[in-house]
Amino acid sequence: RYPDLMVGGSTVRSYVKEVREVYQIEKKVNVRQYEAVPEQPMGKQLQVDWGETKQKTTDSKEIKLYFIAFVLAHSRYKYMEWQTSPFTTRDAIRCHENAFQFYGGHTNEIVYDQDHLITVSENAGQLLLTAEFQSYVNERKFRIHLCRRADPESKGMIENVVKYIKGNFADSRVFSDIEDWNHRGLQWLQRTGNHQVHQTTKKRPAEVFLLEKQHLQPVSSLLSFESTSKQSITRTVSKDNTIRYKSNRYSVPLGTHQTKSENLVLIELKGDEQQTLVIRKESKGEVIAEHEISLEKGKLIQNRNHIRDRSKGIEEFKQ
């Protein structure tokens, strides 16, 4: 009724509270039910999250530090890395490589929050990874599980590790330089973080890790970051054998969509002005489709080779 009325959030809350009292309107409380999650098998899952702290420095100033934390879901074996600037996708990839070297391998699955470093957008319910991180995942070949946005309970294990690092390692320590800080961090992991008996498992993470390490996927030598810079990103092939890119649909060959498979393809932009869309099933596989990118919206861009020859019957195509 009053579109020009400017009020703050606290004013609205106070008003609603008063209305509830006057008209005796009860506030409905939705209680979320939880159940215990079975222990993950060895080598199955790694959880990752980011955090930040403010630390006192040796010259009595204050500095903001940023860290990435990793924890193996079975053994609770932890790894962390710190830096003085906010993380970029390239930093995240570098730290993943260091973590894989630290662990001596990687798990089948890695769990993340919907972080801006690895996810670029949510397209009609489908989460899209940033091009750089998607390219990295393709090379290292691990599966990604993204938790719902603003839902810390769905990855409680790593949330607890982040709190533990802040409350135990970072609390009361004085910062001098980042190399020294990371070195002390590794010493703390060896002495405390991975040595002390875990409250849930009642075992020392370092001892359980000796068994879990044998179940990790081996990693080759450190990955060159140049190899992850190719601009490729995944798309899902829909039932009508098309993929979506920037509000348009582009065809792929008939039969690309399979009922019982993941139906993921890799897309890549090429050309001087990146006007050509190249579609592959694997990062270095053969090109299954190539289209000129349309600047319009809501269009179907279809290659005539991708549609069914109407002169033949469906049975012939099945044969």
Token output for 6: 């400017």
Task: Give the residue extent of every domain in the chain.
Answer: 45-215, 231-318
Domain 45-215 has CATH 3.30.420.10: yes
What is the C-alpha separation between 68 and 96, in angstroms, rounded? 9
pLDDT band of 174, cuts 50, 70, 90: very high
pLDDT score at 3: 85
Mean pLDDT calculated for residue range 246-270: 83
Average pLDDT, the chain: 85
pLDDT score at 224: 52
pLDDT score at 125: 54
Task: Check if the beta carbon of residue 220 is closer than 8 Å to that of residue 97.
Answer: no
pLDDT score at 226: 43
Task: Check if the beta carbon of residue 216 is closer than 8 Å to that of residue 43.
Answer: yes
Task: Check if the beta carbon of residue 69 is closer than 8 Å to that of residue 95.
Answer: no
Please give the model's pTM, rounded to 2 decimal places: 0.62
pLDDT score at 81: 95
pLDDT band of 36, cuts 50, 70, 90: low
Least confident of 8-12, 37-41, 49-53: 37-41
pLDDT score at 225: 47
Separation in Å, CA 10 to CA 13, 26, 172: 5, 19, 36
**Nearest by Cα to 164 from 99, 80, 234:** 80
pLDDT score at 282: 80
Longest CA pairwise span in the chain (Å): 82
Separation in Å, CA 235 to CA 145, 240, 251, 252, 271: 16, 14, 12, 12, 20
Task: Kindly report, residue by residue over 217-252, the tens digit of the pLDDT.
Answer: 988 765 654 444 444 567 888 888 998 887 788 999
Least confident of 76-90, 238-252, 263-277: 263-277
Token output for 148: 């719902």
pLDDT score at 231: 46
Task: Kindly report, residue by residue over 108-157, the tens digit of the pLDDT.
Answer: 999 988 777 777 765 555 667 788 888 888 888 899 888 866 565 656 78
Which residue in the block uniquely carries the two structure tokens 């932890």?
78
Mean pLDDT calculated for residue range 41-52: 93
What is the SS3 string spanning the chain? CCCCCCCCHHHHHHHHHHHHHHHCCCCCCCCCCCCCCCCCCCCCEEEEEEEEEEEEECCCCEEEEEEEEEEECCCCCEEEEEECCCCCHHHHHHHHHHHHHHHCCECCEEEECCCCCCEEEEECCEEEECHHHHHHHHHHCCEEEECCCCCHHHHHHHHHHHHHHHHHHHCCCEECCHHHHHHHHHHHHHHHHCCCCCCCCCCCHHHHHHHHHHHCECCCCCCCHHHHCCCEEEEECCCCCEEEECCEEEECCCCCCCCCCCCEEEEEEECCCCCEEEEECCCCCCEEEEEECCCCCCCEECCHHHCCCCCCCHHHHHC
Mean pLDDT calculated for residue range 181-196: 94
Burial pattern 234-254, b for ≥16 Cβ within 10 A else e, equals bbebeeebbbebeebbbbbee
pLDDT score at 222: 56
pLDDT score at 77: 96
What is the C-alpha separation between 258 and 255, in angstroms, rounded? 7
pLDDT > 50? residue 272:
yes
pLDDT score at 84: 92
pLDDT band of 57, cuts 50, 70, 90: very high
Task: Kindly report, residue by residue over 279-302, the tens digit of the pLDDT.
Answer: 988 877 888 999 998 888 888 998
**Nearest by Cα to 223 from 132, 128, 318:** 132
pLDDT score at 56: 94
pLDDT > 50? residue 212:
yes
